[in-house]
Structures are given as C-alpha cells and as structure tokens.
Amino acid sequence: MTDPTTRVHELNLFRQYFDLVAAGAKTIEVRVKYPHLAELAPGDTIRFHIKGTDESCEVKVLRVAEYPTFEALLDGEGPARVNPAATRDQQLTNIRTIYGPEKEALGALAIEIVLPQARL
C-alpha cells in the first residue's frame, strides 16, 4: 500500500525493462531530465506501467543522480545496475534508440529504485 503523503509518479516501461524491475534485477532506471521529473526525490514512489496493459509495478526512489550524457550515466552507475541482461554498448544503443540526441541534450537521470518489499 502506498503512503498517502508520498508522491506517486506514473511512468511507462517497455516489457523487457518492466520484467527486470519487477524481479528486482534492475536497480537504476534511466530517464531524460524532463521538466515533469524535476521534483522526483528520494522517498517518492514510481508506478511503472506497460502501455496498453493493466500491469503495474511500484518501486521506491532511493536516489536521483544527474549526468550530462547516457554514456556518463552508464559509466557512473555501472551497466549491470541499469540492465543486467545487456552489455554496456548494447544498453547505450538501446537507450539512444528510445531517446534521440535532442533528448539526451536535456541531460540524463539515474533513478535508483527498490521494490518496497526489498527495503530494509
């Protein structure tokens, strides 16, 4: 159950990333520094959805770090935390397929997440 005082952010994920989050294997979510994410902070909840389905998964935000590029983000956070099923180069290609250069120019966010039942 979500604490009513906690901010909840609704975000979509592709199936492959959703499954990694739901399994607790993906602990860093990568996003572009869009204005609507500027207030994202530790303690917030993110409810991930797979677009077009009723599936959702809630996580708690532990930390938000800003990077100038996706490459710097992967180097700073470690690719295994972003996607343990893909190499660094594969991840960089995949991220840049989702977000073009104009989006990357806005900056990259590394959002450290944890499943609520995994919190200490």
Structural domain boundaries enclosing 44: 9-116
Q: What percent of the chain has pLDDT over 90?
A: 88
Note whether residue 3 is domain-resident: no
pTM comes to 0.91
User: Which CATH number belongs to the domain containing residue 61 in this structure?
Assistant: 2.30.130.30
Task: Give phi and psi for 110, each to the nearest 5.
Answer: -105, 115
Tokens of 48: 């991930």
**Of 11, 8, 15, whose CA–CA distance to 30 is shortest?**
11
Note whether residue 80 is domain-resident: yes
pLDDT tens across 23-51, in order? 999 999 999 999 999 899 999 999 999 98
Q: Which amino acid is at 103?
A: K
Number of domains in the chain: 1
pLDDT the model gives residue 120 = 47
